Amino acid sequence: MKINVLGGGPAGLYFSILMKKADPRHEIAVIERNAPDATFGWGVVFSEGSLDNLEDADYESYVTMTESFARWDPIDVRYRDRVERIRGNSFSGVGRKELLSLLQDRARQLGVELRFHTEVDSLDRYREADLVVAADGVNSWVRRAHADWFRPTLGQAESKYAWYGADLAFPVFTYIFKDTEWGAFQAHCYPYNEAHSTMVLLLEEEVWRRAGLDEMSEQESLELCERVFAGELQGRHMLSKRSLWINFPWVSCREWHRDNVVLLGDSAHSAHWSIGSGTKLALEDAIALQKAFLKHPDSREAALTEYEMERQPVVERLQEASRVSLKYFEGIKRYFSFEPPQFSYQLMTRARITHNNLAMRDPSFVRSVESWFWERATGLAVALAPPPAFAPLKVRSLTLANRVVSCEAGAGLELSEPVAVSAEGRITPDTPLEAPPAREGRPLAVQLVHAGPRGACRPRRLGVDRPLREGGWPLLAASPRPYAPWSAVPTELDEAGMAKVVADFEDAGRRSAAHELLLLNFAQGYLAASFISPLTNRRQDGYGGSLENRLRFPLAILDAVRAEWPERKPLAVAISATDHLEGGLDEEEAVAVARALAEHGCDLVQVLTGQTVPEARPEYGRAFGAPYSDRIRNEAGVPTMACGQITTLDEINTAIAAGRADLCLLDRVV
């Protein structure tokens, strides 16, 4: 084949190497706008798994590269003038300029033509080739010029970051967190040779502005950051090479190829650097594309389709993990109240690593975290402690034996099915009006609910939210908006009706007094939830509009129940952390809701998501509810119960030890 590769970065060079090695008859040219040694950034980092892929793909370039690598196993977390070291994280680093030079040499050795100082502003002169590979980076001209082919989705992260160097080789990959007068400064540092490191700084935009960095020159910015990290630099200096503050660009494409043109590396996608190197993804793209042509040597379309189908799901998973990782680092300030062991554990498990994964990497670190957690929960110092899921939790006078919540026996806390506060508050005719009997030694959270617009439905074994054909009852809601298009239209609740509902909750609470914990369901589109969400509350009176007004009725219920419920017993409330729909309740408002509930006597918030309106489309995944619980717990300062596809003790241990929740609802696996 004749192949034109547009872009002389690692992706384009490596693909050229692999194709030329597979068949020297290929006529391959790499076209690059810059000089051979022109590059931005400092070093590139690879995980151990990435190196395995490179070794298999082209052993010669692998050997050459690894001879230049700086290698390390532990990760250091520097926080509160303390260093936590976590082992079992094998990485290697190399200077970006050196990496490019090695790949260029290997390409020339194999007979690839390298053309530098050549601007690509049209595909016309390159389309005569059998294959045109657009490896022209995150700002890809090819992708922009032919957006109708590739249908890209572009965005920017809210935070600011800048790539700096340092004339100091940190001993291992090092995270540094500093609480400054302007806010949280953080540096992600890794060595790439015996004398230098990369330092990537990340700041929330508000912090960046408060520090005056938005008005500083490149040199002034360097000097300020050097002062912030002076202690860690040990008298050495940070280095700048067009180290400008930018927002990370999010790139994804619906299609990766059209006819004989294919996107490779950053031109097709981006994943935040806090979890994976763009270089790693680019090289893996190159490997997959070359393998696709080996598999389909006689069909270009089959090869390009194979490449796209293989790589897109892999990249999308990593992109999602990188979004979670970035969100963690953008909200790092909320964890500055954590003690160092938990802070480091939270960092390590921010995206894909779980308690068990971490224990396999560094059992000593995990044991120390378990002992630390047990001591905080019990006051007893032990060398070997049970996992966090089995640590007790005290809420007012109630002490739970473990952190697991379930609808079945054996958990630290059992959760009852919804109990309606009145006949007209039932979800279905089967919804009970009384809590089950109390049982000694088996704490039960009695879940009180008024179904509101989701009432008068058939039993859920026959389907969810299917209205009764006959024998229904009038529905109530904040506004006369049916829950679903097929639902009955509810009556807008007036003040007299509110007073009756408040009294019904009071009475139901009194009837449940034999139990140790009461949970009021203000979520899932039920009556109280219909007041809280702007999607369902369209009122023009004092109970609509602002969040303060929308909370008046739910808080009246809480105040009334709290006044009747014994002072020594805990009271919990379930809320939605997001409506998963534009214009609905968002996470920031949910934090404000939780804070208001705590001020009115709520001891525990069950954090749910969605179900406010049926058209919402939440993104499900493993333990998807834990991040929402995390934010509410650590910003509102209230204990939380995490919910949402938490199916294993490993996931519960992870959420509890990381401070994302105080309890976790264990979902059934059907």
Residues annotated catalytic, as ranges: 526
In order of 22, 140, 269, 285, 353, the CA distances from 265 in angstroms are: 20, 10, 7, 6, 25
DSSP 8-state assignment for residue 408: S
Find the helix or strand (DSSP H, E) in which 38 lies.
none
In order of 422, 437, 438, 449, 552, the CA distances from 434 in angstroms are: 10, 9, 12, 11, 27
Closest CA to 642 of 667, 613, 619: 667
| Exposure class string for 521-537: b at 16+ Cβ within 10 A, else e | bbbbbbbbbbbbbbbbb
Q: How far separated are the first and last CA of the chain, in Å rounded?
A: 51
- Report the alpha-carbon distance of residue 629 to residue 605 in Å, rounded: 9
- Report the alpha-carbon distance of residue 164 to residue 420 in Å, rounded: 59
- Report the alpha-carbon distance of residue 45 to residue 80 in Å, rounded: 26
Structure tokens at 12: 């384009």
Question: Strand, helix or coil at 45?
Answer: strand
Closest CA to 26 of 15, 37, 36, 35: 15
DSSP 8-state assignment for residue 515: S
Rounded to 5°, angle at Cα 304 from 302 and 309: 95
**Which strands, in side-by-side order, build the sheet including 197-203?**
82-86, 75-79, 173-179, 184-191, 197-203, 160-166, 238-239
**Helical packing angle, 552-564 and 495-511, nearest 10°:** 30
**Helical packing angle, 363-378 and 649-657, nearest 10°:** 70
- Report the alpha-carbon distance of residue 159 to residue 395 in Å, rounded: 37
- Report the alpha-carbon distance of residue 44 to residue 266 in Å, rounded: 15
Residue with tokens 């595909």: 123
Closest CA to 339 of 368, 317, 316: 368
Structure tokens at 224: 């300020």
DSSP 166-196: ESS--SSEEEEEEE-SSSEEEEEEEESSSS-
In order of 26, 292, 307, 383, 452, the CA distances from 301 in angstroms are: 18, 10, 10, 61, 55
Residues 414, 443 contacting (CB under 8 angstroms): yes
Question: 3-state SS string over 606-669?
Answer: EEECCCCCCCCCCCCCCCCCHHHHHHHHHHHCCCEEECCCCCCHHHHHHHHHCCCCCEEECCCC
- Report the alpha-carbon distance of residue 5 to residue 132 in Å, rounded: 6
